[in-house]
Amino acid sequence: MKKAIKKGLPALPKVVFWLTPLLISLEAGLSMFMGYLIAGFVAGKKSNQQGRIRNPFIFDVRSYRIHVHHWLVFLGCLAFVFVLSRTAFGVPSAIYGFLGGIVVQGIIDYDDWKSVVKKRRS
């Protein structure tokens, strides 16, 4: 019989997530690490576990439950900051790193990171 395969990212890419920003800049790498740590402190320890702050982006639409994960919200914030920096303001790389750390934490620490829309249980 085949063993169950863990549905998550293996440990090796975690090293790549931390080394790559440090190669770009020390400021981005350290702020990414801080974003990761703070998101890990605030969010739940496991999938489907309530964190220190309740997620306001979980809601029901008809027979579906929509869960906009924190990583998806902060990915939108990261895109907004990127567009804003290209149009009017200069943004320090620490902001990109911090928001990127929150996104990385939401993706690599949870098994359900890709399930946004689920059929609701009756």
Q: What is the pLDDT along the chain (122 residues), one digit of tens a residue?
A: 444 445 555 555 666 666 777 777 888 889 999 999 999 999 877 777 777 887 778 888 889 988 888 999 999 999 999 998 888 778 888 899 999 999 999 988 888 888 888 888 76
| Domain range summary for the chain, segments of one domain joined by + | 13-44+56-119
Q: Tokens for 115, please give them.
A: 């399930």
| Nearest-angstrom CA–CA distance, 56 and 52 | 12
Q: Tokens 């949870």 belong to which residue? A: 110
Q: Tokens 């790193």 belong to which residue? A: 97
Q: Tokens for 96, please give them.
A: 């990109």
Strand order of the β-sheet with 58-61 is 58-61, 64-67, 117-119
| Nearest-angstrom CA–CA distance, 3 and 27 | 42
Q: Tokens for 56, please give them.
A: 């306001």
